[in-house]
Structure 1
Amino acid sequence: MAMTTVARTDTVARRFRRIGGRWIQRLGLLPAGVPDARGDDAALVAAGPMTEQVVVYFGSTADTVYQLEQWLPVLEQLDAAHPVLVVTADSRSARRLRELTRLRVVTVARYATFDDVLAGSDARLALYVNHHVQNFSLMRFAALTHVSLLHGDSDKVVSVSNQAKAYDFTFVAGRAAVDRLDAHLRHFDAAARCVVIGRPQAAPAPRPRRDDDPITVLYAPTWEGAQTSAAYGSLPTHGVALARAVAADPGLRLVYRPHPLTGVRSPEYGEADAAVRSVVAETGQRISAGGPLAEDFAAADVLVCDVSAVAVDWLATGRPLVLTQPGDADTPAMRGALAQAVTRLPSVGAVDAAALLRREVELDERADARREVAEYYLGDISPGSASRRFLEACEAILAGGEPPTAGAVPEQADPSRA
Structure 2
Amino acid sequence: MRGLKRFVRNGLIGLLALALLFPFFLLALITLPLLLLLAGVAVLTPAVRKKISKGIPKWNSKKFNGTAKKLANKHILPKLYPATTRVMSHYDFIVYFDGPLGATYQVKMWDPFFSRLGGSYVIATRELPNHIDLVRSGYNSMFVKTLSVVDQLSRSGAKTVFYTNNSVKNSQMVRHRHLTHVQLLHGDSDKPSSFNPVTTMFDIVGVAGQLGIDRYLNNGVPILPEKFRIISRPQCGELGVATEPTKVIKTVFYATTWRDHNNGDDAGSIENAYHAVQQLVENGYRVIFRPHPYSMKSSVDKATIERICEFFDNSEADVGFYCGIAGKKNGLMTIAECINESDAMLSDVTSVLSDWLYSNKPYFIIDPLNDHAALIAQNPVVRAAYYVDREMSQLAKPLGEISKGDHLFDERVRLRKYVLGVDLDESPVDLFVSTMKDVMQNYDKDAVAAERIKKEYGNRSIEASI
TM-score range, shorter chain: 0.7 to 0.9
Aligned to 1:216: 251
Letter of the 1:181 counterpart:
Y
Query: Normalised by the size of structure 1, how large is the TM-score?
Result: 0.79
Shift of 1:223: 0.9
* Higher-Rg member (1/2): 2
Shift of 1:313: 0.5
Aligned to 1:27: 72
Q: Which of 269, 277, 280 is equivalent to 2:301?
A: 269
Alpha-carbon distance in 1 for matches of 2:314, 2:249: 19
Q: Any conservation in 2 of the 1:155–1:307 contact (CA below 8 Å)?
A: yes
Aligned to 1:197: 231
Q: Which of 339, 345, 350 is equivalent to 2:388?
A: 345
Pairs within 5 Å for 1:102-113: 104-113=140-149
Aligned to 1:114: 150
Aligned to 2:110: 71
The CA RMSD measured in Å over matched residues stands at: 3.1
Measured against aligned partners, the alpha-carbon deviations of 1:289-330 in whole angstroms (never above 9, x if no partner) come to 233110111110111011111011100111110011102526
Structure 1's unaligned 5+ residue stretches are 1-21, 406-418
Structure 2's unaligned 5+ residue stretches are 1-66, 324-330, 449-466
Alpha-carbon distance in 2 for matches of 1:220, 1:300: 12
Alpha-carbon distance in 1 for matches of 2:313, 2:301: 18
Shift of 1:226: 6.8
Question: Cα gap change, 1:29/1:343 in structure 2, threshold over 3 Å: closer, same or farther?
Answer: farther
Letter of the 2:312 counterpart:
V
Letter of the 1:277 counterpart:
C
Give the aligned length.
366
Shift of 1:39: 6.5
Q: Any conservation in 1 of the 2:254–2:289 contact (CA below 8 Å)?
A: yes
Q: Which of 209, 213, 234 is equivalent to 1:174?
A: 209
Aligned to 2:19: none
Letter of the 1:194 counterpart:
F
Letter of the 1:338 counterpart:
V
Larger deviation, residues 392-401 vs 338-347: 392-401
Alpha-carbon distance in 2 for matches of 1:392, 1:359: 42
Matched, 1:150 2:185: yes
Alpha-carbon distance in 2 for matches of 1:239, 1:36: 40
Question: Cα gap change, 1:213/1:327 in structure 2, threshold over 3 Å: closer, same or farther?
Answer: closer
Q: Which has the higher contact order (CA 8 A, sep 6+)?
A: 1
Aligned to 1:298: 340
Q: Any conservation in 1 of the 2:370–2:390 contact (CA below 8 Å)?
A: no
Matched, 1:135 2:170: yes
Q: Any conservation in 1 of the 2:251–2:288 contact (CA below 8 Å)?
A: yes
Aligned to 1:360: 402
Measured against aligned partners, the alpha-carbon deviations of 1:62-84 in whole angstroms (never above 9, x if no partner) come to 41111111111101112xx2211
Q: Any conservation in 2 of the 1:90–1:109 contact (CA below 8 Å)?
A: yes
Measured against aligned partners, the alpha-carbon deviations of 1:94-124 in whole angstroms (never above 9, x if no partner) come to 23223445x52111011111223433x2111
Matched, 1:55 2:94: yes
Alpha-carbon distance in 2 for matches of 1:313, 1:235: 20
Secondary structure (helix, strand or coil) at the match of 2:113 reads helix
Question: Cα gap change, 1:231/1:126 in structure 2, threshold over 3 Å: closer, same or farther?
Answer: farther
Secondary structure (helix, strand or coil) at the match of 1:261 reads helix
Aligned to 1:161: 196
Q: Any conservation in 1 of the 2:258–2:268 contact (CA below 8 Å)?
A: yes
Pairs within 5 Å for 1:214-293: 215-225=250-260, 228=263, 230-236=265-271, 238-250=272-284, 252-264=285-297, 266-283=298-315, 284-288=319-323, 289-293=331-335
Q: Any conservation in 2 of the 1:40–1:109 contact (CA below 8 Å)?
A: no
Q: Any conservation in 1 of the 2:207–2:213 contact (CA below 8 Å)?
A: yes
Question: Cα gap change, 1:368/1:354 in structure 2, threshold over 3 Å: closer, same or farther?
Answer: same
Q: Any conservation in 1 of the 2:241–2:358 contact (CA below 8 Å)?
A: no
Query: Normalised by the size of structure 2, how large is the TM-score?
Result: 0.71
Shift of 1:393: 2.8
Secondary structure (helix, strand or coil) at the match of 1:109 reads coil
Alpha-carbon distance in 2 for matches of 1:223, 1:64: 13
Question: Cα gap change, 1:100/1:368 in structure 2, threshold over 3 Å: closer, same or farther?
Answer: farther
Letter of the 1:256 counterpart:
F
Shift of 1:382: 4.8
Matched, 1:88 2:121: no
